[in-house]
Structure 1
């Protein structure tokens, strides 16, 4: 299991929140699922080795690190931080805001009675930091949510495409035009529009698309290549039947 090194310090007064190591686990080791139903396994969980932060920036630093970590690895579902403090009062006050403690792990080595209370694992799931997205077909009712996204994230303007361009795009879906909406917590937060109504000739005139079979069906393109090869081979024999110049051309040169 890979353990990322997470640290941040503003160069002034700092406090070390935790350091530790996780015991070796097998590929079949699992921890019961949390409230969101995602099991904790070695393949979907990372352990933070240690974290250093300034007391006034801890929340923003930790939140940014956690969000960036989840965003960079789509298969990652959980982050865990193992803390071993000498007394309960040493546990950082700010950590529980992002890391909820789950069922204590049973230590594989002898633990003194006065150290039992010091073993703690803070846990954070992907859904705690990144909104879970549901992808579905867009509906006209999504207009109010999506128009706000369009105003901020796109350069499409009503003056160019019409005031109800978005509503017409969603409402005009058919077999050749589809729209998908991304929903988070009951609100539409993203839109993708797909169409098969394109001018292939125009695209081929504007771009070098030979590597993509000129955007036509591969089987059809293979037939075209076979025909072109045959015609080129046949044409070479028509103009150079003996592997040389045509007889008429030789006669002209002899004159």
Structure 2
């Protein structure tokens, strides 16, 4: 389950600290476990204080790493600012930022209250922008560091505002990789497909089975390996690599007809 130690060292150029948002479940939790197993200290961000402390205690006990916790809801600008301040702390550098926090909405655009749409945008886009901005300053000054932005295969497909938000994450990550790579900072967009986590349960939709549903630990192992190779995009799973390529050949109208997939 853990990432190879040399892979993680390649990511951060030595032992260091990773900050992971949405760290108590799913992809974020798997990142925390695999990075801790590779010897990295952690700063974990989530909204649920009790669950956050429980995860931190388990990681300290299992891997002997330092684990700091920050309870924060990234929808709230004041709470997001607390995480920004931690990333900007030159005396306690963060070597790897994993922007993982996120959620989706089951209903279509006009069926959702606009406040819910704005909250999703705040987490998927605004928080990624703010936390990346806070992290990049110290990282470029030190000449090393990395950011993994958890995007989605949906970024390549017409799937409403979630898709649009993830498309922003992809384009932002691609630009940042080119802009700050020469200064020693690598940025990558991780684009998962359907993954066996709590994500769909929180959306109140049925989590499926079968070849389209990826194991979360496999997904994160692949992501860390791709990051270590310097890739700008990571699309784990042969099935999703094929989907990303195939969508270039399919008319947008036909793709839009599949937007209810994964929302039932």
> TM-score w.r.t. structure 1 length?
0.24
> TM-score w.r.t. structure 2 length?
0.24
Task: Name the larger-Rg structure.
Answer: 1
Instruction: Give the structure with the higher percent strand.
Output: 1
